[in-house]
Amino acid sequence: MMLKGRNMDYSDLRKQWDAMVSASSDNKLSEDGASLSSAKPGIAFCLGPYTYIYGVKLWDGVYIWANQINISRIDYAVDAMDTEDAVLINLCHSGRCEVAMKGNSFIYMTPGILNTSVNKVKRSFLFPGGSYDGVEMLFDMKRLKDNMPAALEEYGFDYGFFDELYKRENLLAKVSADSLNMSVKLFKTLCSENYSTEDVRFEVLSLLHCLWNGGASEIEWTNLVSKGQRRIACEVERIITEDLSKRHTIDQLASRVGVGASAMKKYFVAVYGKPISYYLRDKRIEKAKALLTTSDLSIGAVAAACGYEHQGKFGSVFKAAVGMAPLEFRRCNNSLGR
């Protein structure tokens, strides 16, 4: 089922927006007390290695983030927003993001999936695999009710629209290629930090229009993960990655977490998106690339540190994953200047 909103001719969106901007001198779009042209861009937060949140306040009670994540968990400083009940719209570009559903269960968003929710704003999020890119929008219901931005209303997104989403509680949709491309463009705009708030407002309104006018199809998500299943998957991930030189059999892992091997493997795939062996291989290759780039260890020592007993096997796996042999990779990327 397609998501439905106000039916407008998309080719006229830019013309309508330009007309609205030209009227900003009359404060028709200046609910926050500033004209569009004088509105200041947002700010960026570094939350860890190669992990940034680029946030913008669009209107009073309306925020957007570009999430560029390279860690497994982040904590949001949302208290400063003084936000209680809100509609959250989250669109995944790459990686995986945990979303809490009703009944203390979770889903894990994958590229091209949109989620709307009305849970209280979470203080932390889990990103299985430690990598995620996407955009997230927050609409504070109380502030929208008190002071609905005129620009949203003009584009067909009035309080009634957000109230419907609020009553739905959770919605999942697969977005079209056009919608995903628009979202990626918006993401790049925010990450560039070279924009005006007016630019971001127009891109957000255009994306919302596209999504709710044929650019997304609602889906049912059947692969829900319970808290207990999530705990088991995360414990397995901790065990296999705390020392990548060690090797664990499936039966050993299942015994340590107290469930059958089949159930354990199923829970792990549900959370991390790939079988244990594939996930572990990827982590080992990541570590090998880092060691080859930053250390003087021999190729054999790198292989051993990454859990490979035989250098030849390590070389074959590394070349299949990276496209070049370990020694060639070191020569091309070694940061020690050799």
Is the same domain home to 331 and 248? no
11 and 143 inside one domain:
yes
Give pLDDT, residue 121.
54
Tell me the average pLDDT across 2-30.
48
Q: At what angle do helices 261-272 and 250-257 cross, to 10 degrees?
A: 90
Residues 51 and 128 in one domain: yes
CA 310 centroid distance within chain:
37
- Dump pLDDT digits (tens) for 33-67: 333 333 345 777 787 888 888 989 999 999 999 99
Q: What is the mean pLDDT of the chain?
A: 85
Is the same domain home to 74 and 152?
yes
Quote the CA–CA distance of 51 and 7 in Å, as a whole number.
38
Q: Is 5 or 186 the better-scoring residue by pLDDT?
A: 186
Give the least confident one: 191-195, 211-215, 229-233, 334-338. 334-338
Residue 41's pLDDT is 59
Residue-wise pLDDT for 239-295, tens only, equals 999 999 999 999 999 999 999 999 999 999 999 999 999 999 999 999 999 999 999
- Higher model confidence: residue 335 or residue 30? 335
CATH assignment at residue 170: 2.60.120.10
User: Looking at the predicted structure, is the pLDDT value of residue 28 above 80?
Assistant: no
The band of 26, judged by pLDDT with boundaries at 50, 70 and 90, is very low
Do residues 39 and 174 both lie within one domain? yes
Asked if 13 and 122 sit in the same domain, the reply is: yes
Query: Which pLDDT score is estimated for 123?
Result: 63
- Domain of 11, in residue numbers: 2-218
User: What percentage of residues in the chain have a pLDDT greater than 70?
Assistant: 82
Assess whether 124 and 248 both reside in one domain: no
pLDDT per residue as tens digits for the range 95-147: 999 988 877 889 999 999 999 988 655 667 789 989 999 999 999 999 999 99
What is the pTM assigned to this prediction?
0.80
Whole-number CA gyration radius for the chain: 23
pLDDT at 46: 83
Output phi, psi for 126, to 5 deg: -105, 135
* The predicted structure's pLDDT at residue 40: 44
Both 137 and 257 in a single domain? no
What pLDDT is stored for residue 136 in this prediction? Answer: 93
Which residues, at least 6 apart from 233, have a Cβ–Cβ distance to it below 8 Å? Answer: 225, 264, 267, 268, 270, 271, 272
pLDDT at residue 101, as a whole number: 82
Do 165 and 231 lie in a common domain?
no
pLDDT-based confidence at residue 76 (cuts at 50, 70, 90): low
CATH number at residue 302: 1.10.10.60
Based on the fold, state whether residues 83 and 186 are members of the same structural domain: yes
44 and 171 share one domain: yes
Q: Which of 322, 300, 232 is nearest to 272 (CA)?
A: 232
* Count of structural domains, the chain: 3
Strand-strand pairing, 86-95 and 213-218? unpaired
- Rounded Cα distance, 306 and 84, in Å: 46
pLDDT digits (tens, 9 = 90+) for 303-336: 999 999 999 999 999 999 999 999 999 999 875 5
pLDDT for 83: 58
Spell out where 105-167 has E strands: 105-109, 113-117, 124-126, 132-140
Residues 248 and 294 in one domain: no
